[in-house]
Amino acid sequence: MPSEETRTKSSPHIRTTESSASPGTAEPAPTATAGGPTGKSATRAWTARLLMVGIVLTALNLRPAITSLGALLEEVRDGLGMSGGVAGLLTSVPPVCFAVFGIMAPRLARRFGPATVVCAGMAAIATGLVIRPWVGGTAGFLAASALALMGIAVSNVLMPVIVKRWFPDRVGSMTGLYSMALALGTSAAAAVTVPLTDALGGNWRSGLGVWAALAAVAVLPWIPFVRDRRGDTRGQESHARVRTADGGPTTTPGPRNGDAPTTATSTTTPGPRTEGTRDTAPGAPAPAVPARADTAPPALRITRSPIAWALAVFFGLQATAAYITMGWMAQIFRDAGLSAGTAGLLLAVTMVMGVPLAFVIPRLATRLPHQGPIVIVLGLCGLAGYAGLYLAPAGGAWAWAVLLGIANCAFPLALTMVGMRARTGAGVAQLSAFAQSAGYLISVPGPLLVGVLYQSSGGWGLPLALMAGLMVPQMAVGVLAGRNRTVEDEAAR
């Protein structure tokens, strides 16, 4: 008798679903396995926990390379002899690297597996951060920064893919956990970099290099998955159910490491119905699926999807605001008369607002049919924060830091919408790569332009006006991106 164990389409490694036997039929006999059901369940649980640890540690490392530099930007400028324009170029390097290297992530994941690519990304971050302060000269500093940012770029793109593939029934909560850890790493780097630098003798090079240790630790949980390519981005349909033409039981292809295939009863994954499908009567066999298990789904023509473009522009504008904030906000407060330590703490407050909200917002977004209202609330907080920085940067500093921290939570919202605007793991991979790469390209001029305006005007009036002006189109495209549609439907038209 065939086993009743099924593997879900989206998570072949961890999650299993037991379907009950039909009334009046005998209970199926347990399927003999090498390790036994208990052993397999324990393995799946261990795998899930290790993946969670890897996701959290990875997220913790995706921003310290940037915010630690923002806290010490004045010291780095003096030490390397940078002008305001060159410093603006330095703050534009992250989105450039994210755009250039992020587009490579899906192809690398198809070849080596997403876990392997993330593991290599963490190693690149550790290497770049440890050599960046000591290479000497602006060119070497930029090159080492680019190495670290390359690792961040591929991990940025593949995190939503890993969440969707291994935790398909917990996209909102896992995205929230990942976003919360990202915000925690961002705020911790902003808050403790200056005190760490002081504790290490006041040398900014030591204060920047110490963050390589955290990246080195993040390599470890991914090592067991380095040789596992089963989560590649060729589409989870390669692990999907395939129904025989005579309506018999479905067969789920087993792992590619030689495990035996698992036979299963019909299971239907909830989701939007596509054209050409019809409902079946209760108890009737599911319609035949004319697909082969070894056939990868065709690549989507993602540029034909309006929702993909809306997400890309929304991602780009929120990234512009985020990198301007991370690169220049501490300097705004220092120019207003606050100390370097206080300015770093204010930047940390802005970043730490994402810790609770990055967990709440994705969960709320997945429960709403349209995410536009969340986009509007975040945008209004950003406009209020920029107005406050212009009118009373020192007097209301803590309030403005909180408001801008709320506005920066557009990032976890964008990640959540990437997972919601595609139905399959392959679709998420394409949409994530497109939205992040195009979005980061859009965000490149922002930090550079702020540096040029700051140097030419000698104040923060024009840069703040630019930042407030960009918030309006961000709200507009965010409302469009929040509509309840998927790229598979739009790209197939």
pLDDT digits (tens, 9 = 90+) for 120-176: 999 999 999 999 998 878 888 989 999 999 999 999 889 888 888 888 888 778 888
Judged by DSSP in three states, 55 sits in helix
User: Is the pLDDT confidence value at 290 over 50?
Assistant: no
How many residues are present in the chain? 493
CA 123/CA 126 separation, integer angstroms: 5
The distance in angstroms from the start CA to the end CA of the chain is: 43
User: Is the pLDDT confidence value at 237 over 50?
Assistant: no
Place of tokens 């640890």: 53
32-81 per-position pLDDT tens digit: 444 455 667 777 788 888 999 999 999 999 989 988 888 888 888 888 88
Q: CB neighbours of 410 closer than 8 A, spacing ≥ 6?
A: 314, 318, 321, 322, 375, 378, 379, 474, 478
pLDDT band at 177 (very low <50, low <70, confident <90, very high): confident
* Predicted local confidence at residue 228, as pLDDT: 62
Q: CB neighbours of 30 closer than 8 A, spacing ≥ 6?
A: 3, 37
Q: CB neighbours of 229 closer than 8 A, spacing ≥ 6?
A: 112, 113, 116, 256
For the record, the structure tokens of 294 come out as 């070894």
Q: Looking at mean pLDDT, say which of 101-110, 292-301, 476-485 comes out highest.
A: 476-485
Q: Which amino acid is at 297?
A: P
Residue 259 backbone phi and psi in degrees, to 5: -65, 150
What is the average per-residue pLDDT within 381-389? 96
pLDDT band at 210 (very low <50, low <70, confident <90, very high): very high
Query: Over the chain, what is the mean pLDDT?
Result: 78
pLDDT band at 267 (very low <50, low <70, confident <90, very high): very low
User: Is the pLDDT confidence value at 229 over 70?
Assistant: no
Q: Quick one: 137 exposed, middle or buried, by C-beta within 10 A (0-12, 13-18, 19+)?
A: exposed
* Predicted local confidence at residue 288, as pLDDT: 36
Judged by DSSP in three states, 17 sits in strand
CA 407/CA 377 separation, integer angstroms: 8
For the record, the structure tokens of 160 come out as 């939503």
Q: Which amino acid is at 133?
A: P
CA angle 436, 174, 301 (to 5 degrees): 35
* Predicted local confidence at residue 34, as pLDDT: 43
CA 55/CA 182 separation, integer angstroms: 10
What is the average per-residue pLDDT within 2-26? 39
Give how far Cα 487 sits from Cα of 169, 296, 377, 431, 432, Å. Answer: 20, 17, 25, 8, 11
CA 389/CA 377 separation, integer angstroms: 19
